[in-house]
Chain A
Amino acid sequence: MGGEVNAIGTHGKSMAWRAAWRLFLAVALMVVFSGGRLYAQEDERAVRAAFVFNLTKYVSWPQGHRDRLVLGVTGQGNMGQVLKQVLEGKLSDGRRIDVRIHPSEVELLDCDVLYVEESSPAQIRATLGHVHSRAVLTVGDTDQFTREGGMVALVRSGDQIEIHVNLDSLRRRQLQMSSRLLSLAVIVSGNGELQ
C-alpha cells in the first residue's frame, strides 16, 4: 500500500517521470487489484487518511500556523497511527503536516485539524467542547459527528465514503470550504439535522 501513497506524494515531477510512473502504476495496480473492487480491498483508513489530506486543500483557515499544519487525532482505534504514517511531514499548500495522536488539552488548542475517531456522541461533544472557540477543522467518521456539531464527517456508505459537511459549524469558526468540495458533500445544518 505504501506504493500508492508514494504515488500521490511524488506527483508534480517532470512529464517523463509522470509517464513512467503511470506505466508502472498501471502494471502494478493491475497486478494488485486484479482480484476485486478497489474499496473492498483497500484499507479504509488509508482512504480516510487521503481524504483528510485532500480536505486540508479545500479549506481555508482564518488564522493559524503558516508553516505547519497540526493534525490532532482523538478517539478509539488506530487511525492515529495510520494518519501519522501516511501524512506526517507531508506538505499541504506549503504547510508541513504535524500529526499528534491523542493530544493534550494544551496541544488541542494548537491543532488546525482535529480527527475524531470512533467516538460516542458524548465523547464527541466533549472533544468538540474543547475546541469550540477555535478555528479547528473537526473531522469525524460518522454522520453522528456532524449532527453533534462536527464540521466534516467521512461517512462510510456501502463501499463509498460520503462527505458530510455542517456548514453552520464551519461558518461559526470562520472556516471556508471550496464550493467544489461542497458540491460533492452532503450538507448538514444545525446541530446535526440533515438538509
Chain B
Amino acid sequence: MIAPRFSSLRANIIAVVVLASSLAVGFFTAMMSYVNTRSSIAQLDSRLATLADVIGQNSAAALDFRDAKAAEEVLGALRREPPVISACLYNARAALFSEYQRDANVPPCSRFAAAKVTGRDGRSVTRDILRATDFVGSIQVTADVRDLKSRNNRMLIVAIMMALISLSMAGFSGALLQRRISKPVTQLASAMNQVTADGNFEARVAVKGNDEIAQLAAGFNRMIIELERRNQMAQRAESKLLEQARTDALTGLPNRRYLAERLERELQRLRQEKWVIGLLYIDLDGFKLVNDSLGHGVGGLLLCEVAKRLKSRVRGTDTLARVGGDEFTVILTGLESNEDAVVAANGLIESLSRSFVIEGNEITIGASVGITTRHPAVNEDPDLLMQADSAMYAAKRSGKNRAVLFSPELGLMARERLTLERELRGAIGRGEIYVEYQPEFNATTGQLVRFEALARWKHPHLGYISPVRFIPIAEESGLIYGLGEYVMEQACRECLAWQRWPNAPIQVAVNVSALQFASEMIVEEIGAILKRTGLPPELLQVELTESVMIGSLDHSAQKMMRLRSLGVTLAIDDFGTGYSCLGYLPELPFSALKIDRSFVRNLHLSSETATMLHSMIELGKKMGMRVIVEGIEEESQLETVAAMGANEVQGYLLGRPSPTPRIQFAEYLEAPKLSIDGELIEPIEF
C-alpha cells in the first residue's frame, strides 16, 4: 500500500541522485574533453614548431646550395609523423623551394611564402630558417587536426559511455538508497494508517540499523506504545466514569440516570412482551430523623443496609436503583397484574420494618411505597416515575409505612400539593397562619385544665385549609420548623394571658412533630421561647407522636429528659395509631398519654374497642401517667370514658377550637360540665 506521495519521494530520491551524478559526470566529462582538446592542440602546436625548426635547420644547407633533392629528402623524414600532412620550404626570396605532401588529397603548397594558408582541418606552423643570424628561408608545417579531432571524439565517446555507465550505476544506487529511505517511511505510513484508521495499537515498525530513519521508526514505536498506554488509560477512565455516572457511590446500586435508561429499555421491550411492568417508588419513613439525630455517617450506613435488604428481596430480572437521598425505585418486569406489584411492594415494606442495628444503635424505620404499572395494551405514555412518586406521597399522607397504587386522582392531589406548598411558604409572613385553642377538662371535676394549641391556615382564595392537608406538606418541605416555632410562641404568649383568671393555672398543650423533635436545637428553642414569653415551664405541655421513637430511642429519650429538666411536661399524642410499641414506654419520661380519637369514635362499633380503650387507660394510669381521651363528641362517649377512669377529656362536645378562648372562659368557669363521679351534671350548649 504505497501512497502516491511516497512513490514521489522515491522518484525524488532517484532523481536527486541521478541529477547530482549527471551534473558531476557531465561537468567532469566536459572539462576533461576541453582540457584534453586544449592540451592536445597545444601539444600539436609545440610539436609542429619543433618539427619545423628541426626540418628547417636540416634544410638550411639545401636552401643555401639550392639542393632541392636534398631538401626533399629532409622533408621526406616527416613521413614518420602521421599528423603532418604537408611541409612547404621557401627560400630566402620566399619562393617555394621544396614541398612534402602526405598523400594526394593534401592541397599543394602555395608558390610563395607570403600566401599563408591554413586549411579548415589543418593546423599550421611557419618558422624562419636561420643559419647563425642569416635568414635562409622559411618552412610551413601543416598537421591534420581531423586526426586529433577524431581521437578526441573517440575519447569523448568513451567518456560519454563511462558517464552513462556511471549514471546507470547512480540510478541503481539511488534506487537502493531510496529503498533504504522510503521503504521504512512507507512502513511507517502503513503502521500509522493501522493506528489511525483501524485503531490498531499493535502496529509496530521493524527497526534496523541506527540511522535517522531507524531512529524515526523507534520513536514512532515509542509513540504508539505511549498512545496505546494513554488510550488504555482513557478507556479505563471512561468506563470508570461511565460506571460512576450510572452508579450510586454510596450503595453501589444503579442511580437515577441508569434507572431512566433501563426504564426506557423496558418500555421499548413492552411492545413485544405481553406482561405488565411495575415501578415502585420507595421513600424511607423517618430517615431524616436518623440522619439529623445520629449523623450522616450512620445515615449512610443505614442506607447501605436498606439497599442490601431491598436487593435480597428483588428478583434478578428486576432493577433496583437509588434515585435520591432515601428514595429507591424498583422496576418490576414480567408481572401479570397490578396485584403482583402491590404484593412485591408489601414484601419490601415488610423487609424494612425489622429494626436495623447500626454502630450499636437500634434503628427502626418504615417505608412508604408508591406503585404504578404499565400494561402493554395501554397506548398512552405517562411519566411512570412521576406517577410512582405521587403514589408514594399519597402513601406518606395516608399514614406512612404502606404502599399505594397510583390512580389518576393521586395525580391531581400531587398537583394540588405543589400549589399548597408554594402558598404555605409565605403564609406565616402574610399572617394567614393563626392558632386555635381547644379546651381540655378534668374528667372528674370538670375543671378546665388546659387548651391545646392547633395551627390554622386561612388562605385568601383557597379559604380554610385543613391541617390534615398542610401539616404533612409542611413536614415534607421543611416549613414545619418555622411553623412549629411560630405556633409555640403564640401559644405561650396566649397562655400567659390566661393566668390572670381565677381558675388558673391553665396549661397550654403544643404539638411538636417528629421532624421538629429530631432537630438538635429543639430543646434550646423551646427554652428560648419560654424565656422570651416568660411563661412558667410547668404551664407548657409538649405533645409528641409515637413516631418520635423512630430512629434512636436512646437519643430521643435523652432529649425528652432535657425537656423535662426545663420543667416542661411531655405527653404522647395520638397514642395507639402509629408504631405502637409498648416496650419503649417505660423508658421515656412521659407524664401524660393522649389516646387517639379513633378509639372514641369507634367506641359504639364493638365491645373490643371499648376493651382496648379501657385497657389503654388502665395501662397509662398504672404507669403513672395522666390519661387524656380526645374526640369526645357525644354524651355517651363522655360517660363511658369517664367511667373507664380517664383523667382528662377533650372533644367538640366539651369545647370546639377557638381563636379567642378567653371569651369562653366565663362559660367554662361558671358551669362545670362534669360531675365529680363522672356523671354529666348539665349539658353544655355550644
Contacts and interface: CB of A to CB of B under 8 A. Distances in A.
B61 A180 contact: yes
A22 B134 contact: no
B112 A184 contact: no
Given A11-B135, A93-B132, A181 B65 contact: yes
A77 interface: no
Interface stretch (A51-59, A60-68, A129-137, A140-148): A51-59
Given A160-B66, A184-B61, A12 B93 contact: no
B60 interface: yes
Contact of A29 (B62, B64, B95, B131): B95
B92 A7 contact: yes
Interface in B110-145: 112-114, 131-135
A132 B64 CA distance: 28
B65 A57 contact: no
B61 A181 contact: yes
Given A11-B135, A57-B132, A184 B65 contact: yes
Interface string A37-61: 0000000000100010010011000
Nearest to A178: B61
B490 interface: no
Contacts of A57: 64, 131-132, 134
A184 B70 contact: yes
Contacts of B361: none
Contacts of A178: 61
B134 A25 contact: no
Contacts of B93: 4, 7, 22, 25, 29
Contacts of B37: none
B94 interface: yes
Interface in A164-192: 178, 180-181, 183-184
A191 B114 CA distance: 47
A26 interface: yes
A163 B114 contact: no
Contacts of A163: 65
B114 to A, nearest CB: 5
B92 A11 contact: yes
A12 B92 contact: no
Contact of B113 (A11, A22, A47, A51): A22
A16 interface: no
Nearest to B95: A29
B58 A19 contact: no
Contacts of B92: 7-8, 11
A18 interface: yes
B620 to A, nearest CB: 167
B416 interface: no
Interface string B631-668: 00000000000000000000000000000000000000
B345 to A, nearest CB: 142
B64 A26 contact: no
Nearest to A181: B61
Contacts of B66: 47, 160-161
B67 interface: yes
A2 B112 CA distance: 21
Nearest to B112: A26
A31 interface: no
B490 to A, nearest CB: 153
Nearest to B113: A22
A18 B130 CA distance: 14
B60 A180 contact: yes
Interface string B80-120: 00000000000011110000000000000000111000000
Given A54-B65, A184-B65, A11 B94 contact: no
Interface in A1-25: 4, 7-8, 11-12, 18-19, 22-23, 25
Given A11-B92, A22-B112, A58 B132 contact: no
Nearest to B90: A22
Contact of B61 (A25, A26, A183): A183
Contacts of B64: 54, 57-58, 181
A63 B504 CA distance: 195
Name the residue in A4, A26, A58, A161 with the highest tally of chain B Cβ atoms < 10 Å from its Cβ.
A26
A178 B112 CA distance: 29
Nearest to A8: B92
B54 to A, nearest CB: 13
A192 B291 CA distance: 168
Nearest to B115: A26
Nearest to A22: B94
A29 B133 CA distance: 25
Contacts of A93: 132
Given A57-B132, A93-B132, A26 B65 contact: no
Contacts of B94: 22, 25-26
B419 to A, nearest CB: 139
Interface in B47-79: 58, 60-62, 64-67, 70
Nearest to B71: A184
Contacts of A47: 66
A48 B455 CA distance: 179
Contacts of A8: 92
A160 B94 CA distance: 20
A163 B61 CA distance: 11
B135 A18 contact: yes
Nearest to A19: B114
Given A11-B134, A26-B114, A54-B65, A180 B95 contact: no
Nearest to B93: A25
Contacts of A18: 135
Of A8, A11, A58, A180, the most chain B CB neighbours within 10 A belong to A180
Contacts of B131: 57
B114 A22 contact: yes
A93 B134 CA distance: 9
A191 B310 CA distance: 166
Given A8-B92, A25-B93, A183 B65 contact: no
B379 to A, nearest CB: 133
A184 B114 contact: no
A184 B94 CA distance: 21
A161 B69 CA distance: 12
Contacts of A160: 66-67
A183 B59 CA distance: 11
Nearest to A23: B114
Contact of A184 (B62, B133, B135): B62
Contacts of A51: 65
Nearest to A93: B132
A58 B61 CA distance: 9
21 contacts: A4-B93, A7-B93, A11-B134, A11-B135, A12-B134, A12-B135, A25-B93, A25-B94, A26-B112, A47-B66, A51-B65, A54-B64, A57-B131, A57-B132, A57-B134, A163-B65, A180-B58, A180-B60, A181-B61, A183-B61, A183-B70
Interface of A: 4, 7-8, 11-12, 18-19, 22-23, 25-26, 29, 47, 51, 54, 57-58, 93, 160-161, 163, 178, 180-181, 183-184
Give me the 8 closest cross-chain CB pairs, A-B, nearest first.
A180-B61, A22-B94, A54-B64, A11-B135, A26-B112, A184-B67, A184-B70, A25-B93
Interface of B: 58, 60-62, 64-67, 70, 92-95, 112-114, 131-135
Given A18-B135, A180-B58, 11 more contacts: A7-B92, A19-B114, A22-B94, A22-B114, A25-B93, A51-B65, A54-B65, A57-B132, A160-B67, A180-B60, A184-B62
